[in-house]
Amino acid sequence: MFVTFVCLALLALGGAVLVKERRSMFGGLLFAFSGMLLVLLGLAEVLTRLANSSEIGGMATLGIVYGLVPLIFLAVVLGFIFNTRTMNTKEGRSFTAKLSALLGLNVLIAVPLFLYLVVMGNGPLPLWFHNLLLALLLLDLLLVVLFACYLFYSWMYQMLPVKKQVDYIIVLGSGIRSEEVPPLLKSRLDKGLEYYHKNQDAYIVVSGGQGADEPVSEAFAMRKYLLSQGVPADRILVEDRSTTTLENMKFSKEVIAQHWQKAGTPSVLFSTNNYHVLRGAIYARKAGLKADGVGAPTAFYFLPSALIREYIAMLVHFKWFTGFIVLLCLGFVIYSVLPI
């Protein structure tokens, strides 16, 4: 009962933070984590009651549940592993394409090994080595759980519709190989156009610089595409210096500030792909730009690796939080091994 009360309190706290600032990573992860714990506690309560039931139907249901859980776990893990094959076929061999397989193999090994060490104890292993291994696995699984929370928060953020009147629509650039926009970037532009047609007085800010392997700036190619779609030239603002998402937001903010001649604060929207919306929103907040994000659909096979990459970028961005998790697990080892 106490644990349930704590989870409800954390859920309420996370919800309150999100109401005040929906781009808060702390609020989003706290809300998602406490919500997942409540669901797991509910399932545990149901399973406990079934286990204590003497009725044949209850025992049969319990057997089905315990049989399904490992099968679902295995299906999800194998789905991540085999997704890499599809990525290699459609996107070419790269480290990014292998991310989903690495996650699947990691979970497939870490979960059973962690449970084994918890249930069986150190056995023939030295206590310090057993605890160190347990701490590393705990860190691994915590990061996997946080990834699940990140997925839920990312989905939840995008489910909130944007209905306000928009003054500026920022379209975030992505890699190009010629002056023509590739499918991924085209989907971002088309999503931006969708909101432009709903806000005829809005301006579109194309944001993206020129990489070492790009023939022109991403903004140039994006502007060319928008002109071909009938957008007037005077409705397109160009930001062609940025090389990262954070710079996209910082430099686009400068472009908008120079262009905006009215009183008050302009209403800003940014368009990117669905897997990138949450990170874009967090970087917009860091840049001091009040902007909501909308996401263009992405091929399903591309999503696992893309979301893992986004999550890793968030761990790097929030170094203090990642460091806290690592120190927490290291403290577990020290507490378990050193005499007190």
- Residue spans per domain, the chain: 53-159+319-337, 168-298
Q: How far apart are CA 254 and CA 183, in angstroms?
A: 28
The H or E element containing residue 203 is: strand 203-207
Q: Phi and psi (nearest 5°) for 232?
A: -60, 145
Q: How far apart are CA 75 and CA 252, in angstroms?
A: 43
Q: How confident is the model at residue 66 (pLDDT cuts 50, 70, 90)?
A: low
In whole numbers, what is the pLDDT of the chain averaged over residues? 86
Q: How far apart are CA 94 and CA 302, in angstroms?
A: 13
**Amino acid of residue 49:** R
Any idea which architecture 168-298 has in CATH?
3-Layer(aba) Sandwich (3.40)
* Reported pTM: 0.84
Please report where in the chains the tokens 């970028």 appear, as a residue: 313
**Where in the chain does DSSP place strands (E)?**
168-172, 203-207, 236-239, 268-273, 291-296
Least-confidence region, from 56-60, 185-189, 191-195: 56-60
Q: How confident is the model at residue 252 (pLDDT cuts 50, 70, 90)?
A: very high
Q: How confident is the model at residue 53 (pLDDT cuts 50, 70, 90)?
A: low
Q: How confident is the model at residue 340 (pLDDT cuts 50, 70, 90)?
A: very low
Q: Are the CB atoms for 14 and 31 separated by under 8 Å?
A: yes
Q: How confident is the model at residue 211 (pLDDT cuts 50, 70, 90)?
A: confident
**Amino acid of residue 15:** G
Highest-pLDDT range among 26-30, 56-60, 62-66 = 26-30
